[in-house]
């Protein structure tokens, strides 16, 4: 039995359906992320797990128990919000101890539990400070410690890092991964930031318009998006229009519009004549002045159409046929060389047949 089972959950606001028949399971000990653009329904789903909203249809089971009639404060579930919601007049220790005091724990037990949590979030030296004496990242760590102090079955995190600047956010991501490993409590995390979701999660549910588009491990979500929405939403992706010209077991051939035939991994259910798109990540495409293509590679000549210097890498958009662009990416690994190619340079590109996937929707 999964720790959390979401079964055919629907939530409407008036005649607008915010969550549309979502079913998914979260396993004990998992770091699970709901990822999607603004308005896709991820927060509404999280709020139903917390008990702040009731589903109109479907069931939410925790440890096999239906949560529908259980009020938020009676659920073994806590939520960490973007705004830390700490008590400003209480020290860090008192903030963390608060839920245990409310639950009537004795002083000695509260003391040892609070010290353990302070250690988990590496704030032992800050226990006597007040929230205004802490950085944003430290405040969020206190909020997380307070939410974990009575060992909930489930910790819900609603965009907890979005108020922090980029560098601190990255530090906090590492902290969160380690903390979750340390405490072993199941995390359900909501974010619209695909990089954050890929970095943190064991599994990700990508949502759009109230539905789950794809649920998988980060490597599959990124490497093998199931449809155009996921391909476009997660990172950079070439989406080349094409038609299936043949299927032979695990491999099929696709005629890329205006360009020529390439091989790719078979898409389940795809048949000859099927139209769709070859999804190909820029970093999977080799680029050079001249290339010796390997037997397993597609190979095209082209012309550099645009260069985009991003510091660590440069993006080169290569036109391989009239109006057909393939985005490629090279790391700027040679000191002093910011760009290997310029606009209008004649180049060659190649990619392995298993580098991309053919999308039918
Ligand atoms: P964001 O990242 O912007 O918070 P989200 O993916 O979390 O977006 P939700 O907050 O779940 O999206 O909202 C989904 C849809 O439901 C939105 O169109 C929103 O306007 C609508 N919605 C959410 N809460 C309510 C409410 N209480 N009353 C009416 N509509 C609501």
State the CATH number of the domain containing residue 251. 2.40.50.100
Per-residue pLDDT of the chain (361 residues; tens, 9 = 90+): 899 999 999 999 999 999 999 999 999 999 999 999 999 999 999 999 999 999 999 999 999 999 988 999 899 999 998 877 899 999 999 999 999 998 889 999 999 999 999 988 889 999 999 999 998 889 989 999 999 988 999 999 999 998 888 888 898 899 899 999 999 999 999 999 999 999 999 999 999 999 999 999 999 999 889 999 999 999 889 999 999 999 998 999 999 988 899 999 998 888 999 999 999 999 999 999 999 989 899 999 999 999 999 988 999 999 999 999 999 999 998 887 778 999 999 999 999 999 988 999 9
35 and 162 fall within a common domain: yes
Residue 171: count other Cβ atoms within 10 Å of its Cβ. 12
Give the length of the chain.
361
Instruction: Give yes or no for a contact between 320 and 280, defined as CB atoms under 8 angstroms apart.
Output: no
38 and 115 fall within a common domain: yes
Which region, left, alpha or beta, applies to residue 296 given φ > 0 means left and ψ of -120 to 50 means alpha? alpha
What is the reported pLDDT for 50?
A: 95
Residue ranges lining ligand 1, Cβ < 6 Å = 13, 18, 36, 38-44, 192
What is the reported pLDDT for 177?
A: 94
What is the reported pLDDT for 339?
A: 82
Ligand 1: distance of its center to the CA of 157 in Å? 16
Sort strands 186-191 and 154-158 into parallel, antiparallel or unpaired. parallel
What is the reported pLDDT for 200?
A: 96
215 and 282 fall within a common domain: no
126 and 193 fall within a common domain: yes
For CA atoms 190, 195, 201, 207, the dihedral sign is positive
How many domains are there within the chain? 2
Residue that terminates a domain, selected from 229, 249, 273: 229
Ligand 1: distance of its center to the CA of 19 in Å? 9
Ligand 1 atom closest to 43 (CA): 7
| C-alpha span between 88 and 1 (Å, rounded) | 41
219 and 256 fall within a common domain: no
Those residues with Cβ within 8 angstroms of residue 187's Cβ, 6 or more apart along the chain or in another chain: 30, 31, 32, 154, 155, 156, 157, 176, 180
Residue 202: count other Cβ atoms within 10 Å of its Cβ. 16
What residue owns the CA closest to ligand 1's atom 23? 44
172 and 283 fall within a common domain: no
Ligand 1: distance of its center to the CA of 179 in Å? 29
| C-alpha span between 28 and 5 (Å, rounded) | 11
223 and 312 fall within a common domain: no
In the three-class reduction of DSSP (H, G, I as helix; E, B as strand; rest coil), residue 257 is classed as coil
What is the reported pLDDT for 245?
A: 96
In the three-class reduction of DSSP (H, G, I as helix; E, B as strand; rest coil), residue 231 is classed as helix
What residue owns the CA closest to ligand 1's atom 18? 39
What is the reported pLDDT for 338?
A: 75
Residue 97 backbone dihedrals phi, psi, to 5 degrees:
-75, -20
What is the reported pLDDT for 331?
A: 92
What residue owns the CA closest to ligand 1's atom 26? 13
Q: Of 334, 331, 332, 326, which Cα lies nearest the Cα of 350?
A: 326
225 and 252 fall within a common domain: no
Q: Of 55, 48, 95, which Cα lies nearest the Cα of 72?
A: 48
What is the reported pLDDT for 103?
A: 86
Those residues with Cβ within 8 angstroms of residue 42's Cβ, 6 or more apart along the chain or in another chain: 34, 35, 36, 190, 192, 207
Ligand 1 atom closest to 46 (CA): 11
What is the reported pLDDT for 190?
A: 97
Single pTM value for the model: 0.90
Instruction: Give yes or no for a contact between 205 and 34, defined as CB atoms under 8 angstroms apart.
Output: yes
What residue owns the CA closest to ligand 1's atom 3? 38
Residue that terminates a domain, selected from 194, 229, 264: 229
125 and 49 fall within a common domain: yes
100 and 214 fall within a common domain: yes
What are 313's two structure tokens? 């890498």
223 and 265 fall within a common domain: no
198 and 284 fall within a common domain: no
Q: Which domain holds residue 253?
A: 237-359
């Amino acid at each position: 039995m999964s720790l959390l089972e979401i079964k055919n959950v629907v939530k409407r606001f008036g005649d607008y359906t915010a969550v549309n028949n979502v079913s998914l399971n979260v396993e004990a000990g998992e770091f699970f992320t709901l990822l999607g653009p603004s308005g896709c329904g991820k927060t509404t789903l999280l709020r139903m797990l917390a008990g702040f909203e009731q589903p109109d249809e479907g069931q939410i089971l925790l440890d096999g128990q239906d949560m529908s009639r259980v009020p938020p404060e009676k659920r073994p579930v806590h939520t960490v919000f973007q705004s830390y919601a700490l008590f400003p007049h209480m020290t860090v220790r008192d903030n963390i101890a608060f839920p245990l005091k409310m639950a009537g724990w004795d002083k000695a037990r509260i003391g040892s539990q609070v010290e353990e949590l302070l250690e988990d979030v590496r704030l032992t030296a800050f226990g006597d400070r007040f929230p205004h004496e802490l950085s944003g990242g430290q405040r969020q760590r206190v909020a997380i410690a307070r939410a974990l102090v009575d060992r909930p079955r489930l910790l819900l995190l609603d965009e907890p890092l979005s108020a922090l600047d980029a560098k601190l956010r990255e530090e906090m991501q590492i902290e969160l991964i380690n903390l979750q490993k340390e405490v072993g409590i199941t995390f359900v995390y909501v974010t619209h930031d695909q990089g954050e979701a890929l970095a943190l999660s064991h599994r990700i549910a990508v949502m759009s318009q109230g539905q789950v588009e794809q649920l998988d491990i980060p490597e599959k979500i990124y490497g093998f998006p199931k449809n155009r929405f996921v391909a476009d939403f997660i990172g950079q992706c070439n989406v080349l229009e094409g038609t299936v010209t043949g299927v032979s077991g695990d491999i099929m051939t696709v005629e890329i519009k205006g360009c020529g035939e390439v091989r790719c991994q078979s898409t389940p259910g795809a048949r000859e004549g099927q139209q769709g798109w070859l999804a190909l990540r820029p970093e999977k495409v080799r680029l050079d002045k001249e290339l010796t293509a390997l037997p397993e590679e597609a190979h095209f000549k082209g012309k550099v159409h645009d260069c985009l210097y991003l510091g660590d890498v440069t993006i080169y958009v290569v036109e391989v046929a009239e109006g057909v662009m393939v985005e490629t990416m090279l790391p700027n690994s040679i000191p002093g060389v910011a760009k290997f190619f310029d606009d209008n340079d004649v180049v060659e590109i190649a990619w392995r047949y298993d580098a991309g996937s053919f999308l039918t929707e």
